[in-house]
Structures are given as structure tokens and as C-alpha cells.
Structure 1
Amino acid sequence: MANIVDVDEGSTWSFLDNEATDRALAHRWRSGQNRRSHQVILSHAYRRPGHLLRWIELIACRKIPNASRYHAAVPSETLIVTVAQISPEPGDVRANARSAAALMIETADAGAKLLVFPQLSLVSYDLELFTDPSAWVTEDDPRLDVVRQASAECGVTAVVGAAYRGPDNTAWIASLAIRPDGEIQVYGKQNLHGVERDLFQPGDKIQILDIDGWRVALAICYDAAVPGHAAEAAGLGAEVYAVSALYTQEEVRRIDVHSAARAMDHRMYAVVANLAGRGPGWESCGGSGTWHPDGTRLSQARTDPGVFTMALSRSELQALRDKDALAGNPRTALVADTWT
């Protein structure tokens, strides 16, 4: 294990081997961090001529295989998040996984570390599909290999929506966070809606992701309509509330009110990926986007499919939480965990 100390930021970057060092050097160049730091790291690279060519190649390709193998000692100031508003192929897990992988490459080119897909993005929202066993996925489902590979190559965590069958035969509407190191973190929708209760069981706990030192809570659709869900996530230190959803034409106001309220009440960013298109009994209102911790909407999609990227600022989040604390209403302290 080798360490490189960033003299400007006071952080230590640890690498498992020479190849991992090359990937990290490429990441530091791509991430737009200051030039003095680059000079320190570049001098390290030039002392290792056998790896310099590979390092330059990685920068040119804008790809960092297995990026999760290195970690920062302090959280990043900025987290770039992309939401995908898509219209999946009904019931076709394999095709939708391939489409997700392609979007991950596009997301990586924009510098994003997190890509959030809508509710049931691997199959679309049609509850009649789930009489077919092929519409369900498991954690080791080979149809997800293309997403795992893209995550490893691009260094992007993808949150895809699925009908999930657990090892104990638990049936969830789930968000599967597929990480660059191959790990999958599974979150089951806790607040089921209508006839979903006939097919699925509620999830057992909130899932918090660590993305570049940011704490990201996962939510699925009606979870965002239940204030206690976001309150619990905030209590666990969430700084971003990432919602995979289906909001319909009749719910244009709901998507904005839910997201703005969750963001403002708990001083965290809210990001929502809504389905596009239509399905049995519904037509999407679009409107995917990002909300600031002060409740302001930062981005808004129309109704057509697309990907939408936003940079989230830790300093702006901290400033609002500091202001609340001075007013006698302290919010959850920002968590500065070391990556492990």
C-alpha cells in the first residue's frame, strides 16, 4: 500500500497497487482539482515510467476501471449526480440493463459519480408483468453483469429499479445500488402503494450509500410521500435523498412539493428520477430533477426521456445547516467518514 498526501487539501490518498495508483492519478486529473496537487502527483507518476503511458491513456479515455479500489480521507466538496428519466422496455430486464450500462458511460463522461434510475427501471411499471418469473431479479442475476462491468470501468454507482427476489424469497420493489467494486446494496421500498401490497413486502430498513464521502439515502416513489421516511434518513446522516419514482400527469404538483419539502425540512439535497412515457393506467408527468436544501428546484426535465446532471455543493449545504444551528434548530451534522 502506498500513500500520496495532497499538500493543498490536507488529505491522504491510499492505493492498493501501482495499477490502482494510475487509476487514481487519472481520476484526480479528471475531477478538476487544483494544479499544485497535480504537480505533486505527476512527479510521483514520472518516477514510475513503466506506468506513465497507462496513466495518460486513462486520462484520454476518461475511464477509470475499478475506481472504488481507492478512497479519499475526506469527503469531496462537490458530488455530481445524474438522474435518468427513461421509458424502459416492458418486462425486458436484459435489454434495460444494457441501456443502463450505455447511460453509465455517458454519465461518466459528464463527471458524475452517481446515476439514479426510476422505479422499476429494469422492467417498467406494470404489475401484471410479475406473474412471469423472468421479470424478477436476484442479487447475482447474470443479466446485471453488463451494469456491473460498466460501473467498474466508469467508476459510477448506478441505482437501478427492479422487482427483487431475496435469498429468503422476500419480494421487494427495490433499488439496487451497483457499485464499482462489484458490491450491490439493495433497498426495499418501505411504503407500498395500493395493489403493490398484494405482490410485494415492505423493505426492512433505509439504505445509506457512501459516494465520494457523501451520505446518500435511497427512496422509492411513495416513500417520499411519507415525511417520516426522510426524517429517518436525515437521522442517519443523509445529505442526499435519492428517489426512484413514478409520478403521473395528475401528480405534477406532488413531485415538486414532496421533493422540496424533504430537502428543506432536513437540509439535504433531493434528487428524483421519474419514469418517462406511459404504461397501463398511467402517463408520466416527467419533471425529474434536483432540489436544493433550501427547497429551490435546481433542474427540471420535461416529459421526454433524457439524462440530467447537477453538481451538489457541500459548502452550500453546510452553510444552511450552520444557519439553522445559530437559530436554535440544529440539523444533522455533516458526516466526514473516512472511506473504507
Structure 2
Amino acid sequence: MSLRIAAVQAEAQTGEVEQNVLKAAGYIRQAASELVDVIVIPEAFVTGYDDDAFAGPLPSSRELSWLAPVQQAVDETGMTVVLNTALARDDIRTLTDVVVFPGGFPVLAYDKQHLYESERTIFSPGNHGFSLAVSGMELGLSVCYDANFPEHAAAAAANNVSVYINSGAYFPGGEHRRDLHYAARALDNGMYVVFRGLVGGTKEFIGGSAIFDPAGRRIAHVPAREGLAVASIDPTVITRTRADQRMWTDRRANLGSYDRRGALPPISSSKARQG
């Protein structure tokens, strides 16, 4: 069974929670015409990715009425949504993936574990991974900088994740690093990778929303400034790719200790010529 997934690329308005949530709901309804099962929305989309917004009042984890327009769109379309937001959680702040599904209560699913330098004075890191099952496939969650660390995606794959989902906000000049990371995480682990990115805003984010197949090939992207990247996720492609590209199957769980010898003795010129 295949799964249709859409990655949003859009601009969030700094500090305008109500406006941004309504915009997210609009993308959910738009994706319904593409027969999408799961839609994913960029990092900090609810508040905008902005230092002043992060330092001010944030949406609360205790009272989720701010999510009502998204929940209504989800109930109308039957879609599952992964929406990232800066969140006030009692005495800490987190960058959190919220999962919204039809007829249910939103799940505060995953807190970004690897915080970028500028985020560490404001946010607390998450302490666990998270996946959810949709149409029999495991979707693993990550946020931006998490995907820079190969072990994060590898941990997801080790927990039977078929689709590694990342939300991000890349600064100008980050195009090469962004695309290389997501293609590598796909090929390393023989799984699909879905990236959704912010554009514009006070930091002029560069988007790049795309979907990569298990061989690291980009199979969908957003060609315009805002829009949707949509692709079908096929589990048989994962099986075929892992049979051909065997890095995931052949990797060793334990490589033993690391033997450091220090500097080797110099080789004389005569011995070097003989060698």
C-alpha cells in the first residue's frame, strides 16, 4: 500500500499565530485535491522563526484552542498533519512537532533534539525520538538541525521508520548543505526523506521543500516560492533499494574500540625509495 505525502513550503508571519494557523489550514484543504494522506508543515510555522517571536508569548501546550482551524481542516479532509511550532511547555520552551489527526486530540509528539547555537538560550532539547504509523508505514519525526547528524536518522531506521520527516528553516547560502544532508540520510538508510522548509520572513529563508527516494534521488520539490511537494511513498521501493544498496543491511552495530597509535616513526629516504 502506498502513502501520499505533501511537504509545504511557505512563509510564516512573525508572531501572527492566528494568521499562520489559518494559512496552514488552507494548505491542508489544498492538498486534499492531490489525494494526500499526510501533510507536513515547516519549522516554527505557527509563530514564525524569529528571535523576537521566540522570546515573546508562545502558544501553550496546556490549552490548544489555537489549533482549532487546523483540527477542523483535518476533520474535513481525513488527513494527518505534522505541524511544527515554538511552544510554551510549563517552565520550558521547545520547538515541537504537533501531530493532528481526524477526530482525535492533537499529540505533542516530538521536541527538536539538536538545537542550533542561536536556539540554545531560548529552547530546551527533546530527549527522545518519535514515530507514528500511517497506512502501515512508520514515519519518523525530526526538526532541521537533527538531520545534520547521521545517527539521528539511523536511530529512526533502526526503529523501523520508512519515512524520515524533517522541518527546517535554512538561511541564504545553505542550499548545497541542505540538499546534500537529506539525500545522504535517504541513501544511508534506504528510506524516504521528506523535507519542508520556510521561505521569506525576517531572515529570508530559502525553502527547498522536497521528497527524496531511498536511493537519495529528489522525486518531488516546490518549483515556486510557496506551494506543495507531493509524492507517493511505496514500501516496495524501500525493499528493492535496500537489496541493491546494502549499507543498511551490512553495517556493523559494534565496530569495537578505536586504536590510536599516535605518530609513526619516520621512514628514512632510502627505505622510502626501496618501498
Partner of 1:118: 42
Q: Write the distance in 2 (CA, Å) between the matches of 1:277 and 1:150.
A: 25
CA displacement, residues 21-74 of structure 1 (integer Å, 9 cap, x when unaligned):
xxxxxxxxxxxxxxxxxxxxxxxxxxxxxxxxxxxxxxxxxxxxxxxxxxxxxx
Q: How does 1:14-53 map to 2 (within 5 A)?
A: none
Q: Report if aligned partners of 1:130, 1:136 keep a CA contact under 8 Å in 2.
A: no
Deviation at 1:212, TM superposition (A): 1.3
Q: How does 1:42-81 map to 2 (within 5 A)?
A: 77-81=1-5
Partner of 1:270: 193
User: Are residue 170 (structure 1) and residue 92 (structure 2) matched?
Assistant: yes
Q: Write the distance in 2 (CA, Å) between the matches of 1:327 and 1:178.
A: 31
Deviation at 1:253, TM superposition (A): 0.4
Deviation at 1:303, TM superposition (A): 5.7
Q: How does 1:86-101 map to 2 (within 5 A)?
A: 86-101=10-25
Greater helix share, structure number: 1
Q: Write the distance in 2 (CA, Å) between the matches of 1:193 and 1:326.
A: 29
Q: Report if aligned partners of 1:136, 1:165 keep a CA contact under 8 Å in 2.
A: yes
3-state SS, counterpart of residue 146 of structure 1: helix
Q: Give the residue type in structure 1 aligned to 2:197.
A: N
CA displacement, residues 198-233 of structure 1 (integer Å, 9 cap, x when unaligned):
001001111101111110011111001111111111
Moved more, 219-228 or 293-302: 293-302
Segments of structure 2 that go 5 or more residues without pairing to the other structure are 253-275
Q: Report if aligned partners of 2:5, 2:233 keep a CA contact under 8 Å in 1.
A: yes
Deviation at 1:317, TM superposition (A): 1.1
CA displacement, residues 236-275 of structure 1 (integer Å, 9 cap, x when unaligned):
1110011110112211001111100100001110010010
* Structure-2 change in CA distance of 1:199 and 1:294 (3 Å): same
3-state SS, counterpart of residue 116 of structure 1: strand
* Structure-2 change in CA distance of 1:327 and 1:145 (3 Å): closer
* Structure-2 change in CA distance of 1:232 and 1:123 (3 Å): same
Deviation at 1:320, TM superposition (A): 1.4
Segments of structure 1 that go 5 or more residues without pairing to the other structure are 1-76, 332-340
Aligned counterpart for 1:307 among listed residues 228, 231, 249: 228
Q: Give the residue type in structure 2 aligned to 1:182.
A: G
CA displacement, residues 4-36 of structure 1 (integer Å, 9 cap, x when unaligned):
xxxxxxxxxxxxxxxxxxxxxxxxxxxxxxxxx
3-state SS, counterpart of residue 26 of structure 2: helix
Q: Report if aligned partners of 1:270, 1:290 keep a CA contact under 8 Å in 2.
A: yes
* Structure-2 change in CA distance of 1:204 and 1:236 (3 Å): same
Q: Report if aligned partners of 1:87, 1:305 keep a CA contact under 8 Å in 2.
A: yes
The alignment's TM-score, normalised by the length of structure 1, stands at: 0.70
Structural RMSD (CA)? 2.0
Q: Write the distance in 1 (CA, Å) between the matches of 2:209 and 2:5.
A: 12
Aligned counterpart for 2:110 among listed residues 187, 193, 216: 187
Deviation at 1:285, TM superposition (A): 2.3
* Structure-2 change in CA distance of 1:103 and 1:303 (3 Å): closer
Q: Report if aligned partners of 2:13, 2:201 keep a CA contact under 8 Å in 1.
A: no
Q: How does 1:233-252 map to 2 (within 5 A)?
A: 233-252=156-175
User: Are residue 215 (structure 1) and residue 138 (structure 2) matched?
Assistant: yes
Q: Report if aligned partners of 2:144, 2:167 keep a CA contact under 8 Å in 1.
A: yes
* Structure-2 change in CA distance of 1:101 and 1:296 (3 Å): same
* Structure-2 change in CA distance of 1:172 and 1:233 (3 Å): same
Partner of 2:208: 287
3-state SS, counterpart of residue 176 of structure 2: helix
3-state SS, counterpart of residue 153 of structure 2: helix
3-state SS, counterpart of residue 199 of structure 2: coil
Q: Give the residue type in structure 1 aligned to 2:67.
A: L
Q: Write the distance in 2 (CA, Å) between the matches of 1:261 and 1:326.
A: 12
Q: Give the residue type in structure 1 aligned to 2:172.
A: Q
Q: Give the residue type in structure 2 aligned to 1:191.
A: H
The alignment's TM-score, normalised by the length of structure 2, stands at: 0.86
Partner of 1:323: 244
* Structure-2 change in CA distance of 1:311 and 1:327 (3 Å): closer
Count of residues paired in the alignment = 251
Q: Write the distance in 1 (CA, Å) between the matches of 2:249 and 2:56.
A: 54
Identity %: 30
Moved more, 154-163 or 179-188: 179-188
* Structure-2 change in CA distance of 1:101 and 1:322 (3 Å): same
